[in-house]
Amino acid sequence: MIGHGFMGAAHSQGWRVAPRFFDLPAEPVMQVIVGRSAESTAASAQKWGWEESSTDWREVIARDDIDVIDIVTPGDTHAEIAIAALDAGKHVLCEKPLANTVAEAEAMHEAAERAAARGIRSMVGFTYRRVPATTFARDLVASGRIGEIRQVRAEYLQDWLADAEAPLTWRLKKEHAGSGALGDIGAHAIDLVEYITGQSLESVSGIIETLVKERPVLGEGAGLSGTAGEGRGEVTVDDIALFNARLSSGALASFEATRFRTGRKNALRIEVSGSLGAIAFDLERLNELEYYDATQDGLEQGFRRILVTEHDHPYLNVWWPTGHGLGYEHGFSHQVHDFVGAISVGVQPRPSFADGLHVQRVLDAVERSSDAGSVWTPTAG
């Protein structure tokens, strides 16, 4: 695994726990973790259960005893690492968004296509697909339970930047993060809407805005802030993204991604309305799915709560007794289950680098639409 911050902890949990609950067709060995600082990387290795640590990802990729590369670094390094790993014959799991630009994502997709011809697999880490409630929502839509999709509303709401004096981290610098709320959390909303509906976003009209233009810089050694020491630095990414989209069926969708929605901590909310019913999901209540059956008698209609904890629900047959909920970290174990399973049987795991490239094109189209005054902009390459 290359990188060892917040996502490093989450992915390590997935690699460590998945083989202890699922009967995987291959046994993952947590061999080596890579970071920039020898001391902090070694500490992460010991804490999370990796056998070795390194500061040289190129040397690790060249090793014959490494089969899989898991990339959890900031977006500006994804393309270089992933392409090198795929060309070296390693299976690759890469965190979202796939890259910082469409050009980088296209190069990664091309490398994945070359590697696939040799049986090498690649996947993007959109883990919210693997929350049991969202997978179940996808199944309900695919089975026709809500009929023809007419309208979708998607929001990803956080408030961790609402304080204008919060420090300038790497996530607020375009050269490292690519974009702000749009790519960091909006990408999740885009992918999840497409996953649940089985449709793609074909055109968008949007606006993005940076609400706080400058922030205090972090002290030296505090991470990828782009600057060190006292003073203030420029925020070069968006704080909020609002856009409308047209799905491949012609249905309309609205999206909001913000890290300024005061009082919302991690609210990824998806509502899909159809001719026969509707479904609604909120990540802050991730063990629940709301379902509305419009075919019922009018006196009985209303959204009802489905507690998605039954063993017949997706992924849940290996976990706890009915009614005992799962948490944020379980999606990463489900990700390992699906990734290892796909590699073992020689099929392409989803979401693929092609899926990641498509999301990157949507993000780019939203930015271009905003720059042009919110004009409708196609997402196709």
* Mean pLDDT to the nearest integer, 320-331: 97
343 found inside a domain: no
* Confidence check: pLDDT of 220 > 80: no
pLDDT of residue 381: 66
Cα separation, 227 vs 214, whole angstroms = 12
User: What number is the average pLDDT over the span 154-178?
Assistant: 94
Helical residues (DSSP H) of the chain, grouped into ranges: 6-21, 38-48, 57-61, 78-87, 102-116, 132-142, 174-177, 181, 187-197, 330-345, 353-371
Query: Do residues 142 and 233 share a domain?
Result: yes
Mean pLDDT of 368-372: 97
pLDDT at residue number 228:
47
- Write down the mean pLDDT value for the chain: 95
Q: Domain check: are 27 and 85 in the same one?
A: yes
The answer to whether 98 touches 108, Cβ cutoff 8 Å, is yes
- Inter-residue contact 209 to 253 (CB < 8 Å): no
Q: 220 and 310: one domain?
A: yes
Range of the domain at 210: 128-326
For residues 288-299, average pLDDT: 95
DSSP conformational letter for 320: P
Mean pLDDT for the stretch of residues 45-60:
98
Mapped onto helix, strand or coil, the DSSP state of residue 293 is strand
Q: CA triplet 161, 78, 268: central angle to 5 degrees?
A: 40
pLDDT of residue 218: 76
Q: So what's the pLDDT on residue 40?
A: 97
pLDDT over 60 (residue 227) = no
Number of residues that this document lists for the chain:
381
Of 292, 280, 275, 279, residue with least CA distance to 149:
275
Report pLDDT digits (tens) over 36-48.
999 999 999 999 9
Choose the weakest-confidence range: 13-17, 191-195, 229-233. Answer: 229-233
Q: Does residue 183 sit in the same domain as residue 258?
A: yes
Q: pTM for the whole thing?
A: 0.95
Task: Return the pLDDT at 229.
Answer: 55
The predicted model gives 290-299 an average pLDDT of: 94
Instruction: Specify the CATH number for the domain of residue 38.
Output: 3.40.50.720
Kindly state whether residues 132 and 263 are assigned to the same domain.
yes
For residues 90 and 197, state if they share a domain. Answer: no
- Mean pLDDT, residues 326-343: 98
The verdict on 122 and 157 lying in the same domain is: no
pLDDT digit string, tens, across residues 87-128? 999 999 999 999 999 999 999 999 999 999 999 999 999 999
Q: What CATH number is given to the structural domain containing 285?
A: 3.30.360.10
Q: For residue 275, is pLDDT > 50? A: yes
Q: What is the pLDDT of residues 339-360, one digit of tens each?
A: 999 999 999 999 999 999 999 9
Clarify whether residues 28 and 121 are in a common domain: yes
Residue 28 has pLDDT above 60, yes or no: yes
In whole angstroms, what is the distance from residue 8 CA to residue 363 CA?
Answer: 24
pLDDT at 221 over 60: no
Last residue of a domain, one of 86, 106, 127: 127
pLDDT at residue number 300: 87
Is the same domain home to 67 and 155? no
- Let me know if residue 141 belongs to a domain: yes
What is the total count of domains within the chain? 2
Q: What is the pLDDT of residue 298?
A: 87
**pLDDT > 60? residue 82:** yes
In a domain, 175, yes or no: yes
Q: Is the domain of 145 the same as that of 29?
A: no
- Among residues 127, 160, 179, the one where a domain terminates is 127
Tens digit of each residue's pLDDT (9 = 90 or more) over 138-154: 999 999 999 999 999 99
pLDDT at residue 163 is higher than 80? yes
